[in-house]
Structure 1
Amino acid sequence: MSAPVALVTGGASGIGAAVVTALTRRGYSVGCLDRNPAPNIEHSVAVDISDGPAVTAAVADLRDRLGPISAVVNSAGHYEMVPVADITPEAWHTMLRVHLGGLVNVARACLPDLLESRGTLVAVASELAVGGGEDDAHYAAAKGAVIGVVRSLAAEVAARGVRVNAVAPGPTDTPLLAADNPCRTPEYLNSLPLRRLTTPQEVARCVEYLVCDATFSTGDVVNVNSGAVI
């Protein structure tokens, strides 16, 4: 019997790379979509997930290589801190295209396989979608939209056996969080109940749980944030 197939976006680094490792350990054949090369992942396609036709073609490529997809993890992201008055229309559109558009593009491309396999989709949102954050308005808005899509799609496909959930990490120790980000300062870390950043591996373990074990769960958001939002 062939291994089940998972597709992970943003799998070249950070949370996505940790998810690739976790799902591979659980017996999945994992394909990756990422704007950047993923030399350590055998089945990887370089693509901008905000480009719908390109995503459709990339998913078809991975399906031809690996077989039908039964699990999808959308973790590709984009982040910057900008005061709301300084957010340009282009910056607003980019943030929404990557997070909201990317999720919808990937879900549309993979949904026929997920319906056939009664599979599962997990999206990476953010605690900022719930709590907001200074200089984070366009990022928080995009991630809030991700949660809205997750809950709506979960309701749409639950009767056909497909589960759709999200994880909402707090500040996580990945390259996306710049060295000078305020979330890395002792003052911020000491404000967290756990006094530290979340690790990519911790987020990946929650994703793995939702994909592999939480057969009762759909439309849920699991908070992985060192207590930033309680």
Structure 2
Amino acid sequence: MSPRVAVVTGAASGIGAAISAELAEHGWTVAGLDLRPADIPELSVTADISEAAQVREAIGVVRAELGPIEALVTAAGYYEMVPISEITADAWTRMLRVHLGGLRNATCAVLPEMRERRRGAIVAIASELAIGGGEGDAHYAAAKGGIIGFVRSLATEVAADGIRVNAVAPGPTDTPLLAADSPWRAPEYLATLPAGRLCRPDEVAQMVQFLIDESSFCTGEVVSPNSGAVI
């Protein structure tokens, strides 16, 4: 029986690492793409997700070593809070290239094969901030909002090919991306959440696994585990 191969970008840490572990537990053979080596038994490939040529090459390595790719999860990214007046043109461009461009690059690298085999699942990690916005988050929210638009459009375009495309838009999540002094960790903020705590990476991972394995009819959806911050 051929292995079910999933590619996870941003697999070296945080949400990406949790997703890789969750999929592996459910029988997937996982390949991780990241700027740094990921702790994944099957295959870790280093690549800059914002560079289309590097992503195509990395996907080619995965295909050659593990076989056809059935699932893609794009979790690569970074976060910073910057007032709009201080966001430089370079910072704006980099944020869009990593988050939105990275999704485009990875999708374009795997989509022809998925279409040919007439099956596949793509899950993009967006953010609650793409839905509700946030002070000091304009370029991050714009990039993540673009991901939601991309997902909904692509889902419509490839549904007839047997490919499902969804997004998970978590609220603030307890990963190293949130500094110890982040306002999202402040007791005053946590007290505003109905659940009273940050999301855990494994909870995001469980949602991704559900969208890939269990929701055979779900496409074009945005699921937001956010402790009830946006209802």
Please state which band the TM-score falls in when normalised by the shorter chain.
over 0.9
Task: Give the match's secondary structure for 2:48.
Answer: coil
2-structure distance, mates of 1:182, 1:221: 25
Match of 2:172 in 1: 171
Task: Give the match's secondary structure for 2:224.
Answer: strand
Question: For structure 2, which runs of at least 5 residues remain unmatched after alignment?
Answer: none
After TM superposition, list the pairs within 5 Å mapping 1:67-78 onto structure 2.
67-78=67-78
8 Å CA contact 1:9–1:33 kept in 2: the answer is yes
Count residues with an aligned counterpart.
230
Match of 1:65 in 2: 65
8 Å CA contact 2:6–2:70 kept in 1: the answer is yes
Match of 1:197 in 2: 198
Task: Give the match's secondary structure for 2:68.
Answer: coil
Amino acid at match of 1:221: V
Q: CA deviation at 1:179?
A: 1.0
1-structure distance, mates of 2:28, 2:19: 11
Match of 2:152 in 1: 151
Question: TM-score if structure 1 supplies the norm length?
Answer: 0.98
Match of 2:219 in 1: 218
Q: Are the structure 2 counterparts of residues 121 and 16 from structure 1 closer, same or farther at C-alpha, using a change threshold of 3 Å?
A: same
Task: Give the match's secondary structure for 2:143.
Answer: helix
Aligned-residue RMSD, C-alpha? 0.8
Match of 1:33 in 2: 33
8 Å CA contact 1:192–1:226 kept in 2: the answer is yes
Q: CA deviation at 1:40?
A: 4.1
1-structure distance, mates of 2:36, 2:193: 32
1-structure distance, mates of 2:22, 2:113: 22
8 Å CA contact 1:70–1:117 kept in 2: the answer is no
8 Å CA contact 2:9–2:74 kept in 1: the answer is yes
2-structure distance, mates of 1:122, 1:164: 6
Match of 2:14 in 1: 14
Percent identity over paired residues = 60
Match of 1:125 in 2: 126
Q: CA deviation at 1:38?
A: 1.4
1-structure distance, mates of 2:44, 2:110: 16
Q: CA deviation at 1:189?
A: 0.3
* Structure 1 runs of 4+ with >4 Å offset: none
Q: CA deviation at 1:140?
A: 0.1
Task: Give the match's secondary structure for 1:166.
Answer: strand
Match of 1:96 in 2: 96
What do residues 131-170 of structure 1 show as CA deviations (whole Å, max 9, x unaligned)?
Answer: 0001000000000000000000000000111000000000
1-structure distance, mates of 2:114, 2:227: 32
Q: Are the structure 2 counterparts of residues 11 and 41 from structure 1 closer, same or farther at C-alpha, using a change threshold of 3 Å?
A: farther
Q: CA deviation at 1:74?
A: 0.4
Q: After the TM superposition, which of the residue ranges 116-125 and 84-93 deviates more from structure 2?
A: 116-125
Q: CA deviation at 1:113?
A: 2.2
2-structure distance, mates of 1:166, 1:26: 20
2-structure distance, mates of 1:168, 1:29: 24
8 Å CA contact 1:8–1:72 kept in 2: the answer is yes
Question: For structure 1, which runs of at least 5 residues remain unmatched after alignment?
Answer: none
8 Å CA contact 1:125–1:166 kept in 2: the answer is yes
2-structure distance, mates of 1:16, 1:65: 21
Amino acid at match of 1:192: L
1-structure distance, mates of 2:39, 2:214: 29
Question: TM-score if structure 2 supplies the norm length?
Answer: 0.98
